[in-house]
Amino acid sequence: MASPETLKHTSYPGPSMIILEQLLLPASPALMPEGKQSLSLKVERGETLWVTGPAESGKTTLLDHIALRRRSLGGAMTIMNYDAGPRIRKRTCRLLQQRISYVDAVPIFMERLTLADNIALPLELNHFHKTDIQRETESILRWFGLGAHAQSYPATLSQTIRLKAACARALVTQPSIILVDEPALTLCPDLRDQLLTTIQSLVTNGAAALLATQVPPPPDTPLAGRVITLPWQPDPPSGDDMPSFHAGSPLSPPSPEDRGFFS
């Protein structure tokens, strides 16, 4: 099989998947006097970070920045050892986005494609071989119990099924960074538990996950991790003023060549 054009883990040997240095994010003026906050943090390989906070505290905006969907208002961002700030090259941005998956609040589908074809799309964009695409797509459809909807069109499906499909599409490539916004974590308890269990396996293999919710995760969550609260109120500096969250060893992130994960 031709090797897909992707970022191999050897190109980012350090343990940090994400480094934010005084990244300027908006927040409701009702929460932050100037309507903005400055966030510095590191997220390591094999780490889960729960991003909590009230409505309009900047959770979605933070995920959008890490997904490289928004230009930052200021500060610096490094993703997998690449400068992901305003001067990021188009090619680097495209390659990083192939390793970042985002289950956003209102997932958008190609409405003229079936659910199965929508889920296969990230594999096609990563130039996987046809037989691999078929096998991986069928596996993840089964994994998320979406087999009966495989040939349906997204517009004909309920919101829960669309969110399930968005989760399948986000995870089919076994990404290095997984971002999940609130609805997939709150709409349906069964979906939430299955999603968190699946992400836990990817995190154990070295991925990093950021999950946004208004309320902190319950103690019995299948995906334990560090919790931060927005809007960000940094502690007074004490030597190293950047909080560094070390959880787990610097494992290699899962590679797209690892087969059968969802079988």
Ligand X SMILES: Nc1ncnc2c1ncn2[C@@H]1O[C@H](COP(=O)(O)OP(=O)(O)OP(=O)(O)O)[C@@H](O)[C@H]1O
Least distance to ligand X, CB of residue 211, Å: 12
Least distance to ligand X, CB of residue 198, Å: 23
Confirm if 66 and 210 have CB atoms less than 8 A apart: yes
Comparing CB distances to ligand X, the nearer of 106 and 148 is 106
Least distance to ligand X, CB of residue 195, Å: 18
Least distance to ligand X, CB of residue 56, Å: 4
Comparing CB distances to ligand X, the nearer of 45 and 59 is 59
Sites of contact with ligand X (CB under 6 A): 26-28, 53, 55-61, 214
- Residue 201's alpha-carbon distances to 75, 95, 152, 195, 251, in angstroms, are 32, 23, 29, 10, 13
Comparing CB distances to ligand X, the nearer of 140 and 195 is 195
**Could you give the 3-state DSSP secondary structure of residue 135?**
helix
Least distance to ligand X, CB of residue 79, Å: 19
- Name which of 58, 6, 17 is nearest 35 in CA terms: 58
Tell me 91's DSSP state. Answer: H
- Residue 196's alpha-carbon distances to 48, 50, 109, 203, 224, in angstroms, are 10, 12, 22, 10, 9
Comparing CB distances to ligand X, the nearer of 77 and 123 is 77
Comparing CB distances to ligand X, the nearer of 65 and 169 is 65
Tell me 68's DSSP state. Answer: T
Distance of CA 147 to the CA centre of its chain: 24
Confirm if 152 and 115 have CB atoms less than 8 A apart: yes
Least distance to ligand X, CB of residue 57, Å: 4
First to last CA, the chain: 20
Comparing CB distances to ligand X, the nearer of 27 and 202 is 27
- Name which of 81, 87, 78, 36 is nearest 58 in CA terms: 36
Least distance to ligand X, CB of residue 61, Å: 3
**Could you give the 3-state DSSP secondary structure of residue 235?**
coil
Distance of CA 255 to the CA centre of its chain: 16
Tell me 149's DSSP state. Answer: G
Comparing CB distances to ligand X, the nearer of 42 and 59 is 59
